[in-house]
Amino acid sequence: MTATANTACIPVLPRGVRLHHDRVRKVEVLLGPERTLMLDGIGHAILSELDGRRSMATISGDLAARFGAPVDQVSRDVETFLTDLADKRLVDMIDG
Q: Site residues (CB under 8 A) for other proteins?
A: 29-30, 35-43, 45-46, 63-64, 67-69, 73-74, 77-78, 81, 84-85
In DSSP notation, 15-59 reads TT-EEEEETTTTEEEEEETTEEEEE-HHHHHHHHT--SSS-HHHH
State the nearest-atom distance from the C-beta of 10 to other proteins, in Å: 19
Q: Are 19 and 38 in contact (CB under 8 A)?
A: no
Closer Cβ to other proteins, 65 or 95, answer by number: 65
State the nearest-atom distance from the C-beta of 79 to other proteins, in Å: 11
State the nearest-atom distance from the C-beta of 40 to other proteins, in Å: 4
Closer Cβ to other proteins, 3 or 81, answer by number: 81
Q: How many CB atoms lie within 10 A of CB 17?
A: 20
